[in-house]
Amino acid sequence: MLDVGAGPGTLAIPLARRVRRVTAIGPSRPMICCLERHLAEEKLSNVFIINYNMLYDWGLYPDVEVLQQTSFSRVYADCRRLSPT
């Protein structure tokens, strides 16, 4: 499972309870910290987190190659905050 725009884990955490592995991508470091805290509280260790802003960083993050070589059974994307405010 791939959760793009994972935020604090609204989808990633429930998914992680049901599947073997979730990859969570988020552009906001504070939201990633919140996700990490929630994962620790839930004692979940099967979420791979990438702090990455696709709008600005495409091609600059080494784990993008990992994503390009991985297939996902489902992709969830929250695109509401992709455009700069």
> What is the residue whose two structure tokens read 């700069």?
84
Let me know: does 53 contact 30? Beta carbons within 8 Å: no
Q: What is the CA radius of gyration of the chain?
A: 12
Report the pLDDT value the prediction gives residue 41, as an integer from 0 to 100: 97
Please give the domain boundaries of the chain with CATH numbers for all domains.
Answer: 2-77 (3.40.50.150)
| Size of the chain in residues | 85
The answer to whether residue 39 scores a pLDDT higher than 70 is yes
The answer to whether residue 50 scores a pLDDT higher than 90 is no
Q: How far apart are CA 47 and CA 49, in angstroms?
A: 6
Model confidence pLDDT, tens digit, residues 52-81: 776 665 555 555 566 666 777 766 676 555
More confident residue, 53 or 22: 22
pTM over 0.85: no
